């Protein structure tokens, strides 16, 4: 099988913060091991010499990534690579991919990976647009473009049961039928971020928690900051907050200044340390290894979180709000509905060694099916 993987890299200057690039860098070699001839079309190569690479431009904004697929370049790319399967990681590009294949005279299956959902569902089934994609009232247009992408695909791949349910419901509202082409394919874990949970230091009356998520407002960072104040004052907990972006470009700050605002807010709290891995995966691992447990994001439309999986692979229990995929994936004893419950769970992790050991083992075990080889097999099964 010749597979062309179209990868949009939203953070080319800080690849460690780009989950899509990390995903492709783990998956493409695993697919190669399984006998697939893989070419990644991206602004940045995956780093494995066995994986073909086609250089593409990086979209300057998240809206260009969705509304400006670059048809001329796509047609030329299809003619050069002549794929049998095209995977569009930016699913909004799928109609343009289908049209480019027609123009190039190439017959290929089109699969779209719903790496990011521009919506979520609240209690009662009400659809909410993702506020991060609603600048200037563009949210509805993004949603319609997403639906057009779903309609153009032969296969639609999602991370989780939660994502499958939400995507199916959103598609149905716009007249797109997915039942025969929807497949659940989880994202692979990073094998560099694995540790025997027995090697993890057990808290002895106090603990360090890590928050390793993007600090955008739409990730619920304001809610996390409110919880952080309570954890450092009411529980025997200190917090390490990851600054994943560092110095962003003026254009990105102008579009959404919330990461800088929240970073300053959190850095001012006693008991909170804001730090960076500087894009170094070894330093990132060391920062996780220096913590006792993780805290999930408060993002309403969370269909999956690479950062949660990173913690769990290292044997770190993760406490999480009961929402989205988190409620599906995280152990029931570590889910909370209120900040009071979160403080209680964090305190127990810090002071109850047996409770901690049990959940360290469960956290690590929850990633067992996410080894890249296993995910590659699931991927190939989904494309059949």
Three-class SS state of 255: helix
pLDDT of residue 17: 64
Number of helices (H), then strands (E), in the chain: 15, 15
Contact 27, 306 (CB under 8 A): no
pTM confidence score: 0.93
Judge whether 244 and 321 are in contact, CB under 8 Å: no
Q: Which of 329, 262, 268 shows the shortest CA–CA distance to 294?
A: 329
Backbone angles phi, psi at 127, to 5 degrees: -85, 130
DSSP 114: B
pLDDT of residue 49: 93
CA dihedral over 234, 240, 244, 245, signed as positive or negative: positive
The tens digit of pLDDT for each residue in 259-314 reads 899 999 999 999 999 999 988 889 999 999 999 999 999 987 788 999 999 999 99
Cβ-based neighbour number of residue 384 at 10 Å:
7
Return the structure tokens found at 255: 């579009």
Buried b (16+ CB within 10 A) or exposed e, 117-135: bbbbbeeeeeeebbebbbe
Q: Is 137 exposed, middle or buried (0-12, 13-18, 19+ CB in 10 A)?
A: exposed
Task: Give the Cα separation of 309 and 300 in Å (integer).
Answer: 18
Residue 62 pLDDT: 87
Pairing of strands 155-158, 182-184: parallel
Residue 16: predicted pLDDT: 64
Average pLDDT of each block of 10 consecutive residues along the chain (384 residues)? 91 70 92 97 90 91 91 97 96 97 98 92 84 93 97 97 94 93 95 93 97 92 97 98 81 82 95 93 95 94 91 98 94 98 98 98 97 97 93
Q: Are 173 and 11 in contact (CB under 8 A)?
A: no
């Amino acid at each position: 099988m010749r597979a062309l993987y179209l990868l949009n890299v939203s953070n080319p200057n800080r690849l460690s913060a780009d989950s899509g690039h990390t995903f492709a860098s783990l998956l493409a070699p695993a697919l190669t091991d399984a006998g697939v001839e893989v070419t990644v079309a991206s602004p940045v190569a995956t780093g494995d010499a066995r994986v073909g690479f086609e250089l593409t431009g990086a979209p300057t904004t998240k809206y260009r990534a969705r509304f400006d697929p670059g048809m001329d370049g796509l047609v030329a790319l299809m003619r050069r690579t002549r794929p049998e399967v095209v995977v569009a990681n930016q699913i909004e590009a799928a109609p343009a991919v289908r049209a480019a294949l027609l123009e190039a005279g190439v017959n290929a299956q089109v699969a779209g990976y719903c790496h990011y959902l521009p919506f979520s569902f609240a209690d009662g089934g009400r659809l909410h647009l993702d506020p991060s994609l609603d600048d200037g009232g563009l949210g509805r247009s993004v949603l319609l473009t997403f639906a057009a992408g779903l309609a153009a695909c032969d296969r639609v791949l999602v991370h989780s049961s939660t994502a499958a349910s939400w995507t199916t419901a959103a598609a149905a509202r716009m007249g797109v039928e997915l039942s025969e082409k929807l497949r659940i394919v989880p994202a692979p874990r990073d094998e560099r971020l694995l540790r025997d949970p027995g090697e993890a230091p057990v808290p002895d009356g106090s603990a360090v928690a890590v928050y390793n998520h993007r600090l955008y407002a739409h990730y619920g960072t304001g809610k996390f900051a409110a919880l952080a104040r309570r954890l450092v004052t009411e529980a025997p907990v200190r917090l390490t907050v990851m600054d994943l972006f560092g110095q962003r470009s003026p254009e990105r700050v102008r579009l959404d200044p919330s990461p800088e605002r929240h970073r300053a807010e959190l850095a001012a709290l006693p008991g909170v340390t804001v730090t960076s891995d500087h894009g170094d995966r070894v330093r990132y691992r060391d920062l996780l290894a220096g913590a006792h447990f993780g805290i999930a994001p408060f993002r309403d439309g969370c269909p999956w979180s690479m950062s949660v999986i990173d913690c769990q692979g290292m044997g770190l229990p993760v406490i999480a709000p009961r929402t989205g995929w988190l409620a599906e994936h995280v152990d029931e004893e570590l889910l909370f509905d209120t900040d009071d419950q979160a403080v209680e769970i964090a305190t127990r992790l810090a002071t109850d060694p047996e409770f901690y050991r049990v959940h360290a083992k469960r956290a690590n075990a929850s990633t067992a099916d996410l080894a890249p080889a296993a995910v590659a097999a699931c991927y190939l099964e989904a494309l059949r």
